[in-house]
Chains A and B, each alone.
Chain A
Amino acid sequence: EVQLVESGGGLVKPGGSLRLSCAASGFTFSGVWMSWVRQPPGKGLEWVGRIKSNSIGGTSDYAAPVKGRFTISRDDSQKMVYLQMNSLKTEDTAVYYCISTFHSDSSANRWGQGVLVTVSS
């Protein structure tokens, strides 16, 4: 069964840090580009960033609101992708989804169940 399972969410104070993890199973992980998308409570979807497959460099790109604060990494041996979030702000409060992409990284064909991150004092 194809699965993406996120973990690591919770409550953190403004200025704090948190690392989200995403465990993949049921598909060939190493060649797949992975991304994170978030959704503030009651609002729409927002792309956070992506990481390419290691076979083409494994580099990452980020949305403007998180650039310089968030870092995406991957461990193909463990089939894991991570989202390191630093200098968190209240506006980062959201459900964070781990997704795998296809069709030249244009669409998300697999989604995790999401994990809630709450940034509040």
Chain B
Amino acid sequence: EIVLTQSPGTLSLSPGERATLSCRASQSVSNNYLAWYQQKPGQAPRLLIFGASNRATSIPDRFSGSGSGTDFTLTINRLEPEDFAVYYCQQSTTSPPTWTFGQGTKVDI
């Protein structure tokens, strides 16, 4: 099973700053099937990025994803107050079919 390790655990920033979140996989993620989600307290997660670098529908362009193989990054430019949340990376494999999630990075003020 591929293990995803996110860093840092918590990122303390101010509105207007840039956030850089890391997700490292224990093995190469095939087809760059790596997604990023945002979760706010009491809410379901929301898809931000799929396929490592593709923004999901209605996601602002201040969110961007990059990386391949085992190292992936989510960058949030010019943090807005509504961006303070927990972010999870997730990968999928086909053999055996399974998904795994990272443990999350909290972006707070």
Chain A residues close to B by CB (< 8 Å): 35, 37, 44-47, 50, 61, 63, 97, 102-109, 111-114
- Please state if A45 and B51 are interface contacts (CB–CB under 8 Å): no
Tell yes or no: B26 within 8 A of A by CB.
no
Q: CB-defined interface of B8-31 with A at 8 Å, one 1/0 digit per residue? A: 000000000000000000000001
A105 to B33, CA, bound (A): 9
Q: Is the interface of B mostly helix, strand, loop or mixed?
A: strand
Tell yes or no: B5 within 8 A of A by CB.
no
- Please state if A44 and B44 are interface contacts (CB–CB under 8 Å): no
A21 to B47, CA, bound (A): 22
Q: Which 9 A-B pairs have the closest CB atoms?
A: A47-B99, A106-B33, A107-B50, A111-B44, A107-B35, A61-B97, A106-B92, A45-B101, A44-B103
- Please state if B101 and A103 are interface contacts (CB–CB under 8 Å): no
Q: Is the interface of A mostly helix, strand, loop or mixed?
A: strand
- Determine the chain B residues whose CB is within 8 A of the CB of A50 once the complex forms: 97
- Determine the chain A residues whose CB is within 8 A of the CB of B104 once the complex forms: 44-45
- Please state if A45 and B44 are interface contacts (CB–CB under 8 Å): no
- Please state if A104 and B33 are interface contacts (CB–CB under 8 Å): yes
- Please state if B98 and A63 are interface contacts (CB–CB under 8 Å): yes
In the assembled complex, 22 residue pairs joining A and B whose CB atoms fall closer than 8 Å, in A order, are A35-B99, A44-B88, A44-B101, A45-B88, A45-B101, A46-B101, A61-B96, A61-B98, A97-B44, A97-B45, A102-B50, A103-B50, A106-B31, A106-B50, A107-B56, A108-B35, A108-B37, A108-B45, A108-B47, A108-B90, A109-B50, A109-B56
- Determine the chain A residues whose CB is within 8 A of the CB of B37 once the complex forms: 45, 108
A104 to B100, CA, bound (A): 16
- Please state if B98 and A47 are interface contacts (CB–CB under 8 Å): yes
- Please state if B90 and A107 are interface contacts (CB–CB under 8 Å): yes
- Determine the chain A residues whose CB is within 8 A of the CB of B46 once the complex forms: 111
- Please state if B51 and A106 are interface contacts (CB–CB under 8 Å): yes
- Determine the chain B residues whose CB is within 8 A of the CB of A46 once the complex forms: 101
- Determine the chain A residues whose CB is within 8 A of the CB of B47 once the complex forms: 107-109
- Most chain B beta-carbon contacts within 10 A, residue among A103, A105, A106: A106
Query: In chain B, residues 66-109, which have Cβ atoms closer than 8 Å to a Cβ of chain A?
Result: 88, 90, 92, 96-104
